[in-house]
Structure 1
Amino acid sequence: MLKELLSATAIVLTFVIFVPYIRSIHRGHTRPHAFSWVIWALGTLVVFVAQLAAGGGLGAWPIGVSGVITGYVALLAYRKRTDRSIHRSDWVFLAVALAALPSWLFTSNPLWAVVILTGADLAGFGPTFRSAYARPHQERTRFYALAAARNAIVILALEAYSLTTVLFPAAVGVACLLLVAVIVWRRRTLARRAGGNRHDGGDAAQL
């Protein structure tokens, strides 16, 4: 009963996380990087299948739901061209991730598929980390913080614990927390610089 409750909580939290984020994209307040979301959508859905094969049970379903919604965000980011700054490094991250996705087809062991796809998913954070560093106010810290909390609940909801079932949600949760730290740090850094510039300008005006 506890596992069912935790799984349901994680699924509900998934919608709680994504609905405001999607609304923010529609309003133009949030500008996700399409490359990251394409990588995350594909990798999450394949990991969901691998977790089911490894006996993840109810705990895997929040990952599946997240994969479907992530696919929608990727489509939305592409259609709205929310982040037009595509760099060469972004293509490298995308190529690495796409090269890793067929791993499920070449191994009968879901562990290796999850290991490779987790690495691909973490590579997907590359464009978003770069974008968040340059434009920290265009991402939502609350979204990634809640995503980390949701992944912790997902781990608790798993019916079988192994590297295959735990690695993906744990690694992505840590990456989300690191991204939140980068965004908060950059916002504070830019705010201090802006304050210093205003102060310097005021001193210059008094001269």
Structure 2
Amino acid sequence: MIAVLAVAVVLAYVRGIYAVLKSDAKPNCLSWVIWACIDVVLIVSSLMAAESVSTIVLLLIYMAGAVVIVAVSRKNLSGLNIFERAAVAVATLSLVGWVVTGNASVALGLVILAHLCGTILTLKSVWQVPRSEDWVMWTLFVAGNIANLLAISWINWQNWLFPVYETAVCVIVTLLALRRKHP
């Protein structure tokens, strides 16, 4: 199942990059910066925890895709509004707290909080302008996340909480992106 997830994620990023380059999508750059930073911390954490090579490769794919999305978006990240600054501040504090605590449960909650800061920015963008996100890319993320849900152990809540959260986010963004116009 990890291979299905990896293929779906790569295809999602290829589609997303294509949509951005064609100006069919204008994703919230700040969300992708936050998500890329989270991926970097996850990679370092996985390396320190001696995770499997497939986990580390998957995290590298996520990080690289996020970095490329930001690079091709052509949006200036200067001049952030107060909402965006608050999201960056909370995400940064969450990541620092995660690194400092060493407690797996606290770390999981903080990484979800940091991720949620980026997610809120994307949800706001796609709510206001449904075409700001490419629905095909997000549908591919949903498919990959479903493969991930089928592969994980459901015994420990720490194994399934983030994948369930991430799947829900992808479903919501997909549905919002499929709307024709703002209600």
Q: TM-score, normalised by structure 2?
A: 0.82
Q: Percent identity?
A: 22
What does the per-residue CA deviation read over 1:35-65, in whole Å, with 9 as the maximum and x for residues that have no partner? Answer: 1001111113323554676786466342442
Note if contact 2:90-2:114 (Cα within 8 Å) is conserved in structure 1.
yes
**Number of residue pairs matched by the alignment:** 182
> Which residue of structure 1 aligns with residue 125 of structure 2?
131
Give the stretch that moved more between structures: 84-93 or 97-106. 84-93
Instruction: Give distance in 2, aligned partners of 1:50 and 1:111.
Output: 14
> Which residue of structure 2 aligns with residue 34 of structure 1?
29
Note if contact 1:118-1:167 (Cα within 8 Å) is conserved in structure 2.
no
Q: Which amino acid aligns with 2:104?
A: P
> Which residue of structure 2 aligns with residue 165 of structure 1?
159
What does the per-residue CA deviation read over 1:103-138, in whole Å, with 9 as the maximum and x for residues that have no partner? Answer: 232122233222201111012111211111221123
RMSD of aligned residue pairs (Cα, Å) = 2.9
State the Cα distance separating 1:147 from its structure 2 match: 0.8
CA 1:140 to 1:179, structure 2 compared with 1: closer, same or farther past 3 Å?
same
CA 1:164 to 1:59, structure 2 compared with 1: closer, same or farther past 3 Å?
farther
In structure 2, which of residues 117, 134, 137 is the aligned counterpart of residue 140 of structure 1? 134
Note if contact 2:12-2:140 (Cα within 8 Å) is conserved in structure 1.
yes
In structure 2, which of residues 144, 148, 157 is the aligned counterpart of residue 150 of structure 1? 144
Instruction: Give distance in 2, aligned partners of 1:172 and 1:7.
Output: 16
CA 1:64 to 1:160, structure 2 compared with 1: closer, same or farther past 3 Å?
farther
Instruction: Give distance in 2, aligned partners of 1:161 and 1:55.
Output: 21
State the Cα distance separating 1:82 from its structure 2 match: 7.3
CA 1:178 to 1:131, structure 2 compared with 1: closer, same or farther past 3 Å?
same
Q: TM-score, normalised by structure 1?
A: 0.74
State the Cα distance separating 1:189 from its structure 2 match: 5.4
Note if contact 1:7-1:157 (Cα within 8 Å) is conserved in structure 2.
yes
Note if contact 2:153-2:160 (Cα within 8 Å) is conserved in structure 1.
no
Higher CA-based Rg = 1
CA 1:92 to 1:162, structure 2 compared with 1: closer, same or farther past 3 Å?
same
In structure 1, the gaps of 5 or more residues are: 1-5, 191-207
